[in-house]
Structure 1
Amino acid sequence: MLRSFDLVLIGVMTAAAVVTYTIKHHADDKLQEVRRLETEIRLERDTIDLLKADWALLTQPNRLDRLIDVYQSELQLVPTAPTQLAMPMELPMPRSQLPMPETTIEDLIASAGGDVAAAIKGVDEARNAAPVSDIPVPLPRGGYPVDVISTGSVNR
């Protein structure tokens, strides 16, 4: 008579066989997919090589000279003149080499008018008149004092 332990072992063996078959089946599917991808890669590489060969053939100078002679009346091509090429001196100057302006923003504000200059002078005086404390202020997470975050400038 079969004992219950024997039935459990038969069930475990059957489950192991099913799992083994499933893993083998998935491995075979993956192997076929890898082979298909390798074939596609090989085809793409061959296509790239063929296109490079076509490009080399199409851009041969002798062939282009013959095409210029045949289609000269339609295209009206002329050789490039040396004056059509830009010299390095003609290129724009990098920002780092641009000359600095002779007037500063403070000079422009002072010459703009009395109201603007007076308002700015009043703000500067109010900042200078504010009491300065010797108590250290802890910095927030960013490492900058709070007035840097809110106004964009440091007052000390």
Structure 2
Amino acid sequence: MRTIMFIVTVVGVICVSVWAYQENYSTQRMIKDTERLERQIGVAQARLAVLRAEWAYLNRPDRLRDLADINYNDLQLLPLRPDQFGIVEQVAYPIDESLLGIENATEVSADLDGERP
């Protein structure tokens, strides 16, 4: 009986050792993948920062104004004026639901008093 227990213990230790070995290498592989992904994220963030800087540089108001002046004959672009802007209340929304293209609409309302039935 003692021999069987010894053999079972040795087999158990071997199985646990193989499992631990596999987990160790799996963990190391995941750490390497994570580090690689972090490097890729860093490179992407740096590239995004450069692209944002380029976008800001290309969208300078003075540059866009000069481009609009240069290409006036082709584009017919005029400079923006404050009186060209409006407020939301000035926007005319359609009242007729058939204009919206909504069929079988369900009326939804919220209880603003905070009371629940």
TM-score, length basis structure 2 = 0.63
The runs of 5 or more residues in structure 2 that have no matched partner are: 96-117
Higher-Rg structure is 1
Give the C-alpha shift of residue 37 in structure 1.
Answer: 1.8
Distance 1:13 1:88 in 2: 74
2:111 counterpart residue number:
none
Give the C-alpha shift of residue 19 in structure 1.
Answer: 1.0
Amino acid at match of 1:28: Q
1:134 counterpart residue number:
none
1:32 counterpart residue number:
32
2:14 counterpart residue number:
14
1:25-63, Cα deviation, whole Å (9 max, x unpaired): 111121122112212211221122111101111011222
Root mean square deviation of aligned Cα: 2.7
2:72 counterpart residue number:
72
1:76-128, Cα deviation, whole Å (9 max, x unpaired): 222345654335663448x9xxxxxxxxxxxxxxxxxxxxxxxxxxxxxxxxx
Greater RCO, 1 or 2 (C-alpha within 8 Å, sep 6+): 2
Give the C-alpha shift of residue 5 in structure 1.
Answer: 2.7
Give the C-alpha shift of residue 24 in structure 1.
Answer: 0.5
The runs of 5 or more residues in structure 1 that have no matched partner are: 96-156
1:50 counterpart residue number:
50
Distance 1:51 1:89 in 2: 37
Question: What is the percentage of aligned positions where both structures have the same residue?
Answer: 25
- Secondary structure of 1:86's counterpart equals coil
TM-score, length basis structure 1 = 0.49
